[in-house]
């Protein structure tokens, strides 16, 4: 006789206990399989990204050193404008707010210690080493990353990528390389702007609201910051730019399922970029801390 709940009499006693156990084991098994699947998908995605990076770097090398292989300067310039120049406004706005928030949040504690003017040091270090590159990268992942994923995904769905290959044009060279280079260069540039604007936001707040003398603020900022701080921030920005472009291009190239697939790719790009950016930033911070960089 079957002990299946659907075919047998209502479960009671030992059989009900067995059914409960079976459901629990099935539930745990399903969760484990789902988790393994997700891990597998993550590994595959990282593998695809690594492959994409390898191909793109190979094309970059060939474009620079092999005669006849074009660097595609006009495509690069177009992408730099699209990714970077159009993001300046929003990065400036966000970073000014970050400077203001930092100054106002730190003020009460520092005032308690009688060190209100030290708000300059903290804002400078936090913005230049951390929040300048990170917040700019997060803004760019939503602004440019999603747009790159949608564009490449739509191209794939419209058979444009297949057409590129059929015309003996390599999509890594033609599509990925300009976007990767543009995102790396423009995020590094945007971070310089973000650093200046963020510190300026803190300066304005300290001067106008907290009544810290402007000269004191500038002196403390100058003494707090070294070139090391600027370069670690800019290095991180470059890596963040590479991550955003790789995730966006990878998601775009994996699109399937029409408009819905394109939508999924743009959402996935933003989510994966933010997780990757914060994860990599934590890794960098730990390494810089250990090596006292």
Partner 1 sequence: MDSDVIISVRNVVKTFRSPGGDEVRVLDGVTFDILRGETIVIMGGSGCGKSTLLNCLIGEYTIDGGQIIYSTERMPEPRDIGELPEAELNEVRKRFGILFQSGALFNSMSVAENIALPIREHSDVPARLIDTIVTLKLEQVKMLEHRDKMPAQLSGGQKKRVGLARATALDPEILFYDEPSAGLDPVTSATIDELMIDLSKKLLVTSVVVTHEMDSAFRIADRMVMLERGRVLKLGARSEFEALRDAPAESLTGREEKLMNQFLNGFSVGPLTDVHGMSEYEKLIIAG
Task: Write out the residues near partner 1 by the rule CB under 8 A.
Answer: 70, 154-155, 158-160, 162-163, 165-170
CB of 273 to partner 1, least distance (A): 23
CB of 259 to partner 1, least distance (A): 14
Q: Which residue carries 């990767």 as its tokens?
A: 180
189 vs 252 by CB, closer to partner 1 = 252
- 8 — phi, psi (to 5°)? -95, -175
Q: Which residue carries 């933010």 as its tokens?
A: 274
Question: CA–CA separation, 53 vs 85, rounded Å?
Answer: 24
64 vs 66 by CB, closer to partner 1 = 66
CB contact set of 42 (below 8 Å; sequence gap of 6+): none
174 vs 200 by CB, closer to partner 1 = 174
- Return the closest-CA partner of residue 252 out of 263, 242, 239, 241: 263
CB of 174 to partner 1, least distance (A): 8
62 vs 118 by CB, closer to partner 1 = 62
168 vs 227 by CB, closer to partner 1 = 168
CB of 143 to partner 1, least distance (A): 18
CB of 271 to partner 1, least distance (A): 24
Give 102's Cβ-side CA count (13 Å radius).
28
Question: CA–CA separation, 124 vs 221, rounded Å?
Answer: 6
134 vs 155 by CB, closer to partner 1 = 155
Displacement of CA 82 from its chain's centroid (Å): 17
CB of 40 to partner 1, least distance (A): 14
Residue 211: CB atoms within 10 A of its CB come to 9
Three-class SS state of 2: coil
């Amino acid at each position: 006789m079957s002990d299946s709940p659907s075919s047998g009499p209502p479960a009671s006693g030992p059989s009900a206990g067995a059914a409960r156990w079976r459901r629990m084991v099935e539930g745990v098994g399903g969760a484990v399989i789902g988790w393994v699947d997700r891990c597998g998908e993550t590994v595959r995605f990282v593998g695809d990204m690594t492959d994409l990076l390898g191909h793109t770097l190979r094309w970059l090398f060939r474009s620079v050193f092999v005669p006849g292989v074009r660097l595609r300067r006009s495509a690069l310039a177009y992408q730099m404008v699209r990714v970077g120049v159009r993001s300046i406004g929003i990065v400036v706005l966000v970073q000014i707010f970050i400077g203001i928030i930092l100054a106002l949040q730190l003020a009460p504690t520092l005032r308690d210690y009688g060190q209100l003017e030290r708000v300059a040091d903290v804002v400078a270090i936090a913005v230049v080493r951390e929040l300048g590159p990170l917040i700019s990268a997060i803004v760019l992942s939503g602004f440019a990353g999603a747009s790159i994923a949608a564009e490449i995904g739509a191209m794939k769905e419209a058979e444009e990528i297949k057409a590129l290959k059929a015309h003996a044009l390599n999509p890594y060279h033609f599509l990925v390389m300009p976007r990767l280079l543009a995102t790396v260069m423009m995020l590094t540039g945007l971070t310089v702007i973000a650093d200046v604007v963020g510190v300026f936001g803190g300066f304005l707040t300290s001067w106008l609201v907290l009544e810290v003398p402007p000269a004191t603020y500038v002196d403390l900022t100058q003494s707090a910051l070294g070139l090391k701080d600027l370069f670690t921030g800019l290095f991180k920005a470059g890596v963040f730019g590479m991550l955003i472009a790789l995730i966006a291009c990878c998601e775009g190239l994996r699109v399937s399922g029409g408009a819905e697939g394109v939508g999924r790719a743009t959402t996935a790009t933003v989510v994966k970029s933010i997780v990757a950016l914060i994860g990599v930033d934590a890794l960098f911070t730990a390494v810089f801390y250990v090596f006292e960089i």
